Amino acid sequence: MTPPSSPSAAERPIIELRNVTRRFNGLTAVDDLSLSLGRGMMLGMIGPSGSGKTTTVRMATGTLQPSFGEIRVLNEDPRRFSRRAREAIAYMPQLFSLYDDLTASENLNFVAGLFGVYFWRRSRIIRRALETVDLWDARDRLARNLSGGMQRRLELACALVHDPQVLFLDEPTAGIDPVLRLSIWNSLRALRDEGRTLLVTTQYVSDAEHCDEIVLLAKGRLVAIDEPEALRRRAFGGDVLRVHTERTVEPQMLADVAHLTMVRQDSPRSLTVVTDDAGTASPAIVEALRRQGIAVASVEEYQPSYDDAFAVLVKDSEKNGTGSDQPDQASGR
C-alpha cells in the first residue's frame, strides 16, 4: 500500500482517484471512489453490469467529468490532458467504435495517425499490434466482415498501436472465447511487464487472477480492493478447510481449537472450517477430534472460486450498507 501523500516523481501514482463521485440525474453511478495505481501495474476492475466500471474509466480518460472528487492520470487532470499525456494513453471503449468500411489494417492505420504516428513507422507497428491480437491474417478484411470476437481484438489492437504507456481497456475480453481470452491476458501481462500501466474492466470474475490487484465494485461503491488471492481469503475470513470424518461429527467438538473463525456442519460426517492459518489449524483439528474418539478421513484446503468469493464480498457489502474498504484504505503501489 502506498499512501498518496507527497511521493517522489518516480513513485507518483500513474492513475489516482480521490473520493470521486459521479451522478447522472440524481442517480449515483460512482460513489466516493478512491484508488491509485503505480507504474507497471495491472488493475482489474470487476463488478456486475451497472456497477460503475465504465463510468470510472470514462472519467479517468477525461471523456466524463466527475461530479465530485479529483482524478490524476500521469499527474494531469484528465479534463485538461496535455498532448504529450494523450499520446501516452490508450482507450479501448466497451462498444465497437471502428469503421465498418475500412479493413483491419486501415482502421489501425487511421488510429495510429490520430495519435500522431508518422507514416514511415506505421507498417511495422501495425503488424506488431495485429499479431499481438492474432489478427494479422485478417488484416485485409473489412471490419464489418469480422466476427464479434475479432472486432473486440481489433479494438484492442487499435489501443496498442501507438505504443501507449497507460491503457484503459473497457471489457477487452468480452465476447472472446476462453482460449483467446487467455492469450489476450498473456499479452496484457507482457505489456505490464514492459512497465506499462493497465486499468482493465471485466465482467468475467475468473479474469481476476490475471491482475495484480482487483477493484471490486457494486452499485458504484468500492466493495474491496486487494490482490486477487487476498480478496479470496478475505471473502471467507481466512483459509477454508473441508474436514471429513469416519463417524458423525459436530461443530462444538472443535470449540477448543484455537484460530478457528467459523465452523459449519455440511453433512453428518463433514465440516467446513475457516481459519487464519490452515497450516497450523489442520493438525490441531485432527488431534482435537482424535481425542474425542473420531478418526479423520481427510482434511483438504478448499479453494473457493472467485465467483463465490466475490459474491460473498458483495453480499457482505450490501448487508453492511457500505463498502468493505474505506476509501482512504484503497490500495495501490
Partner 1 sequence: MLKSLTRISSFIGKELREAVRRPGALASLILGPFLIMAIFGIGYRGYRDPFVTEVVTPTDSNLPTDPGYYEQLTEGRLRIVRVSHDEDAALQRLRNREIDFVVAAPPNAAEQLQAGKQSAVHVSWNEIDPVADGLAQVAVGALIHELNAEIIREAAKQGFQAAAAEGAEVKQVPPEVIAEPTKAETQNVAPSKPDVLDFFGPAVFALVLQHLAVTLTALSMVRERLGGQMDRFRVSPLNSMELLIGKYLAYAVFSLVISAVVAALLVFVLGVPMLGGLLPFAAIVLLLSFASLGVGLLISLISDSERQAVQLSMLVLLASVFFSGFVLPVEEFIQPVRYLAYVLPVTHGIDTLQESMLRGGIGDAWMLGALGVIGVVLYLGSLLRLRRVLRGAE
Q: Which residues contact 180 (CB under 8 A, 6 or more apart)?
A: 134, 149, 153
Shortest distance in whole angstroms from residue 155 CB to partner 1 = 9
- 83 touches partner 1 (CB under 8 A): yes
- Residue 283 burial (CB < 10 Å; 0-12/13-18/19+)? exposed
Which of 1, 11, 48, 65 lies at the binding interface for partner 1 (CB under 8 A)? 65
Among 29, 37, 46, 89, binds partner 1 (CB under 8 A): 89
Among 14, 29, 35, 111, binds partner 1 (CB under 8 A): 111
What binding mask, one character per residue, do residues 128-157 give for partner 1 by CB under 8 A, x or -?
--------------x---------------
Nearer to partner 1 among residue 63 and residue 326 (C-beta) = 63
Amino acid at 63: T
Looking at the Cβ atoms of 13 and 66, the one nearer to partner 1 is 66
Residues 156-185 that bind partner 1 (CB under 8 A): 158, 168
Q: Which of 1, 11, 48, 114 binds partner 1 (CB under 8 A)?
A: 114
Among 8, 25, 49, 119, binds partner 1 (CB under 8 A): 119
Give the one residue of 11, 48, 63, 137 binding partner 1; rule: CB under 8 A.
63
Instruction: Single out the segment in contact with partner 1 by CB under 8 A; choices: 7-15, 79-87, 234-242, 311-319.
Output: 79-87
Binding of partner 1 at residue 302 (CB under 8 A)? Answer: no
- Which among 29-37, 60-68, 192-200, 304-312 is the span making contact with partner 1, rule CB under 8 A? 60-68
| 3-state secondary structure labels for all residues of the chain | CCCCCCCCCCCCCCEEEEEEEEEECCEEEEEEEEEEECCCCEEEEECCCCCCHHHHHHHHCCCCCCCEEEEEECCECHHHCCHHHHHCEEEECCCCCCCCCCEHHHHHHHHHHHCCCCHHHHHHHHHHHHHHCCCHHHCCCEHHHCCHHHHHHHHHHHHHCCCCCEEEEECCCCCCCHHHHHHHHHHHHHHHHCCCEEEEEECCHHHHHHCCEEEEEECCEEEEEECHHHHHHHHHCCEEEEEEECCCCCHHHHCCCCCEEEEEEEECCEEEEEECCHHHHHHHHHHHHHHCCCCEEEEEEECCCHHHHHHHHHHHHHHHCCCCCCHHHCCCC
Give the residue with the Cβ less far from partner 1, 94 or 272: 94
Instruction: Name the segment binding partner 1 (CB under 8 A); options: 12-20, 93-101, 184-192, 221-229.
Output: 93-101
CB of 146 to partner 1, least distance (A): 15
Decide: is 123 part of the binding site for partner 1 (CB under 8 A): no
Shortest Cβ 168–partner 1 spacing (Å)? 8
Contact at 8 Å (CB) between 146 and 108? Answer: no
The C-alpha cell at 235 is: 471473502
**Segment interacting with partner 1 (CB under 8 A) among 2-10, 87-95, 126-134, 290-298:** 87-95
Assess 96 for contact with partner 1 (CB under 8 A).
Answer: yes
How near is the Cβ of 174 to partner 1 at its closest, in Å? Answer: 14
Contacts of 318 (CB under 8 A, 6+ apart): 218
Summarize as ranges the residues that interact with partner 1 (CB under 8 A).
58, 61-65, 78-79, 83, 86-87, 89-91, 93, 95-99, 101-102, 106, 109-119, 142, 158, 168
